[in-house]
Structure 1
Amino acid sequence: MAVAGPESTTRRRAPRVDAIRNREAIVEAAAAALAEQGTAVDVREIARRSGVGMGTLYRHFPKKEDLVHTVLRQEFSNWAESARQAAIDTEDPWAALTDFYQQALTGCARHRAIMENFALNCSAPDTDADGIRQLRLVIEKLCDRAVATGLLRPGVTADDLMLLLVSLGHAVQITDEDSPQRWHRLLRISLDGLRADHREPLPGEPSTQD
């Protein structure tokens, strides 16, 4: 029985190296295209940017949804980890919450697909779609810290903060091209409304709440 030498082993491994390189190129190109055009982007555009043929793209990602989910899971995970680390590094709970929104909305201005996906899935508390659950955990921790230190308006929940992020994210998308600084104004208004010095009950709260 013949034993494969180093040269034949290298030849067999080369396609595997090429496959890894192609997959990385596809994911990188998809991330850029999704950021610019959202989830409606044509896969032919992704293939063109990555420098591979459609057949190669479909071998790695048989359905467009597979590629979108791969990219968004990676993007959300990176976003959540960055936010988590920033919160750890910021001792002041209010500054941590403020910085989170500032950084998140700056990201929204650069990535259409993230906010499209976030808006669709953020209302499901047990979802792990595309790493959203990781981001929810960060928001819950920021909320808990602000509540524990008496900085957050009574009655405000992590769900409120999630939906506020979605709302402001939409505002970023519709104003960023013509008025790129407008969302900073809206963020300031929103954050002021979250402060604990606003004591009146929020709509939907029980009338007996302190």
Structure 2
Amino acid sequence: MAVAEPESTARRRAPRVDAIRNREAIIEVAAEVLAEQGTAVDVREIARRSGVGMGTLYRHFPKKEDLVHTVLNQDFSRWAESARQAAIEAEDPWAALTDFYQQALTGYARHRAIMENFALTWSVPDLDGLQKLRLVIERLCARADAAGLLRPGVTTDDLLLLLVSLGHAVQVTDECRPRLWARLLHVSLDGLRADHREPLPADRPRRKPRSRG
């Protein structure tokens, strides 16, 4: 015979279920609002559209930056997984590379918060999702190189920085010249083809200044 759960235990568990639901609702709405309006959005709108009070929102995310970071991590991860699946399904390595950039930049153009923050991830790569994206690019680079389709000397960093650069082009042209980035992508990918044999300039990282003392 089942033993009835003490009422006090049930009361303690109920708020935990509600808290999980509230957190999920906040993140879901925040993802929509950040995509629409960018990081300048007022968190009060996120709370209102989530159906929670400001106190509840701040219990889960004490600072706005915490919420933005959570959403961007989630969306970068989804972005990377979608790109990975597309790369797996593409039989031709060059088509896989091209489709990756097309899909990534199309999604980028629809997400204002990613548009605002993606360029920063080159110098401050603290998003887990970005690391997953790097792994996808690394595999695409290795696959195209193994097939003899990629220009000699092209690295994963080259392809990732190209994505950041084209993302910036999306940001500065999207409102006045939508999809101008597609032309730049075509030009850029053409420069990555193996029939371009000229040596690439050497990568010379900036030296750190010597400490005095």
Provide TM-score, normalisation by structure 2. 0.86
Residue 7 of structure 1 and its aligned partner are, at CA, apart by: 6.9
Partner residue in 1 for 2:86:
86
Residue 136 of structure 1 and its aligned partner are, at CA, apart by: 0.4
8 Å contact from structure 1 (residues 29, 49) kept in 2: yes
Spell out, residue by residue over 1:142-161, the C-alpha distance to the aligned partner (whole angstroms, 9 max, x if none): 00111111111112111011
Provide TM-score, normalisation by structure 1. 0.87
**Cα distance in structure 1, aligned partners of 2:201 and 2:47:** 49
- Residue 177 of structure 1 is aligned with which of 159, 175, 178? 175
Runs of 4+ in 1 over 6 A off after TM superposition: none
Q: Which moved more, 1:14-23 or 1:131-140?
A: 14-23
**Cα distance in structure 2, aligned partners of 1:21 and 1:129:** 24
8 Å contact from structure 2 (residues 90, 96) kept in 1: yes
Identity of aligned residues (%): 82
Residue 116 of structure 1 and its aligned partner are, at CA, apart by: 3.1
**Cα distance in structure 2, aligned partners of 1:38 and 1:204:** 37
Matching of residues 5-154 of structure 1 within 5 Å: 5=5, 11-123=11-123, 127-154=125-152
8 Å contact from structure 2 (residues 118, 167) kept in 1: no
**Cα distance in structure 2, aligned partners of 1:107 and 1:191:** 19
Spell out, residue by residue over 1:115-135, the C-alpha distance to the aligned partner (whole angstroms, 9 max, x if none): 3333212346xx552421111
Q: Which runs of 5+ in 1 are unaligned?
A: none
Q: Which runs of 5+ in 2 are unaligned?
A: 205-213
**Count of paired positions:** 202
Residue 177 of structure 1 and its aligned partner are, at CA, apart by: 2.0
